Structure 1
Amino acid sequence: MVRNDYQSPDLQGYYGEFGGAYIPEMLQRNVTELREKYLQIMQEPDFQAEFAHLLKEYVGRPTPLFKAERLSEEYQTQIYLKREDLCHTGAHKINNTIGQILLAIQLGKTRIIAETGAGQHGVATATVCALKGLECIVYMGEKDIERQAPNVARMKMLGAKVVPATSGSKTLKDATNEAIRDWINHPENTHYIIGSVVGPHPYPDMVARFQSVISKEMKAQLLEQTGSALPTHVIACVGGGSNAAGAFYHFLNEPSVKLVAVEAAGKGVSSGMSAATTQLGSVGILHGSKSLLMQTEDGQVVEPHSISAGLDYPGIGPMHAHLFQSGRGVFLSATDEEALDAAFHVSKTEGIIPALETSHAFSVLGQLNLKPTDRVVICLSGRGDKDLATYMNSGKMNL
């Protein structure tokens, strides 16, 4: 029997036992305002019309669903790539920031803050703020600023102020902490554009809805290309999990579709340097919601590790925690080395340089016992320009 709550949380924002809004008193007003108004605003015809217009004319949607002939031949199956790397700014993140900037304007907010790891969400936020003329502050871990220099330059060129997070591991978790502190200090005029399906309710649901355009297009494109709207497998990388939420969304209640989420194992799941939350985590509260997170016995967050800045996060969104716990989703992991190997292989096989995050998704193809008749869709969530320095320093480049 299919559970009917995979797609949307309950009224309190829970997917099964995960979700909710665990926030300080200073943020209650902002979060309550969002929770009470987001669905109403998103469903207004004028909002829908502008959102659709910008996705088409500015972002460049629909993105292609490309049949990867050489990979298909190699794995003796039918592999399709949902080309989110061809979105304006180079990743799926822009789908959500377009939606949230329109929402923020409707709420009368004039100042936008965001957190970013790989920099793609920061770039996407800076882009929509430039488009709409709003102030933009992006928090980014000091370590990520160093390893994602091209995206930092793009954010600054777009007019954003990039603020380094210098505490903890100096990565995505710490950038999120800083952004939340800012929001607490500026509750009146500020909207926090969270980049993934994490944070207090309604953010996980809101971000999933904005990203659901990915799977909506997949269904129509698959029907046109194969005669069936349903794939047999959808594969996506998962940190917080926004591209996976978007890729899975319209298949969540279709039990014939296998949903495969790939986490970052870092140096190895048991190495002490990993970000494989479902394998290492336990139930706890992080950044405003109850979910699975990597923590010590006394509740201290364990520092994650991944070669990919976008997956370097110690938790997972509540929707994904529910998919894991219920068994609806299959959660695998890939090490840094496996992701690097996959990146070079896809580049040389299909002429597409994927982001390091996406490379984790490609790396599990050999683990799935695929049949010739399977229809496998991989969410190619971002392009690899931002990771060229990492690729060049990996020792795998033929220089």
Structure 2
Amino acid sequence: MSAPSSSYRIAPDGFYGRFGGAYVSEVLRPAIAELQACYREVIESEAFQSEFQTLLRDYVGRPSPLYHARRLSERYGARIYLKREDLNHTGAHKINNAIGQILLARTLGKTRIIAETGAGQHGVATATACALMGMPCVIYMGAVDVERQHVNVERMKMLGADVRPVQSGSRTLQDAVDTAIADWAAHPADTFYIIGSAVGPHPYPDLVARLQSVISKEVKAQLKAKEGRDYPDYLLACIGGGSNASGSIYHYLGTLGVRIVLGEAGGQGVESGRTAATINIGSAGILHGSRTLVMQDAEGRVIEPYSISAGLDYPGIGPLFAHLADTGRATVLPITDDEALHAAFELTRLEGIIPALESSHALALLPRCSFKSDDVVVLTVSGRGDKDIETYLKHKSRFTDV
């Protein structure tokens, strides 16, 4: 797992530029220090990599295909490739990270797993990894998300997870993270917290990015075979916390000729008061153990986020992406609910692929970009849309002419 260009490599103190670090309670400092001291050595070891790569191949089903979407390409006037993370076991990119982190937890002698989830895909991936390894797990999920993602809740339960609805705050992803951190603080000796996104205290943002970097590593080899070069002109992905995007861009961060365009949840519009467009309206602050961009008021109180997508309904962003936006390395556009829905129905009808609502925020970037006919575009379809069918059916009548 080679590191990206030094301009974007995490510093020894856990910062990307002015963002990152580890702001945790006294009780969690030993657990965080243990992770910081060993995570690189463990995940780069021959034993870890041998087991990890074997499971990615034989259990997850990697490499995921890089599919040339011909009809989508015709519509947008470029050579558009879809990185099909939706075809992984469990239906999303989340399984890459869950498998890696549970192997790390086992190495550290932890016997209990906790996790947070929004759309449910990370919860399903964690429950799957725990079933595989015979480890108990508790999944915290906002009560609102439990209701709108009930199919994934039942999947987690079937896999043996203890799914605990969170009733505090806005009852969505941010509250699930808060509650998981509180659990970890109460049981630091035996518990490992598998964080699903590239957020949280150092080393989690870097750990998640490294485990997800299998995505861009495969893209390089697949593009070489299909296009005769190992880099695209554009990389497109959605961002909530940033796990699929961190893996999609990891090996291209230092390749400045590759334009990185990311779609965050604009909700009903950045000026509407119902949005999760953190990079576009956020300011620097501390959230869940990291200094990053946060949706907050003048007194530093977190503003409740909103998105039609449970997985992007988060008032912060991973520190790597705060840094990429801060330095201009990435362009981040807010995608409204309606733009995401339109993009989902468009992909379904042009290519026969039903994407997750999260992935639809990346697909909605296509009409916002100005491509040349010979541009090679790689877009990560981070998950499949089974979990979002009820939402799609609710809005189907509005998009019959897509």
Match of 1:183 in 2: 184
Distance in 1 between the 2:367 and 2:386 partners?
26
Distance in 1 between the 2:201 and 2:306 partners?
24
Asked if 1:141 corresponds to 2:157, the answer is no
Tell me the amino acid that sits aligned with residue 195 of structure 1: G
- How far off is 1:368 after superposition? 1.1
Corresponding residue SS for 1:394? helix
Distance in 2 between the 1:376 and 1:395 partners?
28
- How far off is 1:367 after superposition? 1.5
Give the conservation status (yes or no) of the 8 Å contact 2:234–2:258.
Answer: yes
- How far off is 1:395 after superposition? 4.2
Corresponding residue SS for 2:129? helix
Give the conservation status (yes or no) of the 8 Å contact 1:141–1:175.
Answer: yes
Distance in 2 between the 1:39 and 1:136 partners?
24
Alignment deviations for residues 149-175 of structure 1 (CA, whole Å, 9 cap, x no partner)? 110000000000000111111000000
Tell me the amino acid that sits aligned with residue 302 of structure 2: V
Give the conservation status (yes or no) of the 8 Å contact 1:135–1:160.
Answer: yes
Alignment deviations for residues 350-382 of structure 1 (CA, whole Å, 9 cap, x no partner)? 000000000011112112110011000000000
- How far off is 1:7 after superposition? 4.1
**Structure 2, gaps ≥5 residues long:** none
Corresponding residue SS for 2:163? strand
Match of 1:119 in 2: 120
Match of 2:263 in 1: 262
Give the conservation status (yes or no) of the 8 Å contact 1:264–1:276.
Answer: yes
- How far off is 1:393 after superposition? 1.1
Match of 1:12 in 2: 13
Match of 1:169 in 2: 170
Give the conservation status (yes or no) of the 8 Å contact 1:308–1:357.
Answer: yes
Paired residues for 1:241-390 under 5 Å: 241-390=242-391
- Report % sequence identity: 59
Alignment deviations for residues 326-352 of structure 1 (CA, whole Å, 9 cap, x no partner)? 000011111001101110110000000
Q: TM-score, normalised by structure 2?
A: 0.97
Distance in 1 between the 2:8 and 2:97 partners?
17
- How far off is 1:272 after superposition? 0.1
CA RMSD, 1 decimal: 0.9
Distance in 1 between the 2:8 and 2:67 partners?
26
Alignment deviations for residues 211-255 of structure 1 (CA, whole Å, 9 cap, x no partner)? 000000000000000001010000000000100000000000000
Give the conservation status (yes or no) of the 8 Å contact 1:81–1:379.
Answer: yes
User: CA 1:350–1:6 in structure 2 vs 1: closer, same or farther (change >3 Å)?
Assistant: farther
Distance in 2 between the 1:58 and 1:328 partners?
35
- How far off is 1:66 after superposition? 0.1
Match of 2:49 in 1: 48
Match of 1:226 in 2: 227
Tell me the amino acid that sits aligned with residue 155 of structure 2: R
**How many residues get paired?**
396
Alignment deviations for residues 108-159 of structure 1 (CA, whole Å, 9 cap, x no partner)? 0000000000000000000000000001000000000000011000000000
Give the conservation status (yes or no) of the 8 Å contact 1:6–1:323.
Answer: no
Give the conservation status (yes or no) of the 8 Å contact 1:6–1:319.
Answer: no
List 4+ stretches of structure 1 deviating above 6 A.
none
Stretch deviating more after TM superposition (219-228 or 388-397): 388-397
Tell me the amino acid that sits aligned with residue 67 of structure 1: H
Distance in 2 between the 1:266 and 1:72 partners?
27
Distance in 2 between the 1:395 and 1:91 partners?
23
- How far off is 1:4 after superposition? 3.8
Alignment deviations for residues 288-316 of structure 1 (CA, whole Å, 9 cap, x no partner)? 00000100000000000000000000000
Match of 1:69 in 2: 70
Match of 1:154 in 2: 155
Distance in 1 between the 2:284 and 2:49 partners?
36
Tell me the amino acid that sits aligned with residue 306 of structure 1: S
Distance in 1 between the 2:5 and 2:326 partners?
15
Corresponding residue SS for 1:52? helix
Paired residues for 1:95-134 under 5 Å: 95-134=96-135
Tell me the amino acid that sits aligned with residue 202 of structure 1: P
- How far off is 1:275 after superposition? 0.4
Distance in 2 between the 1:174 and 1:8 partners?
30
- How far off is 1:43 after superposition? 1.4
- How far off is 1:5 after superposition? 3.4
Distance in 2 between the 1:337 and 1:43 partners?
42
Tell me the amino acid that sits aligned with residue 364 of structure 2: S
Distance in 1 between the 2:48 and 2:7 partners?
25
Alignment deviations for residues 83-127 of structure 1 (CA, whole Å, 9 cap, x no partner)? 000000000000000000000000000000000000000000000
Corresponding residue SS for 1:290? strand
Give the conservation status (yes or no) of the 8 Å contact 2:5–2:253.
Answer: no
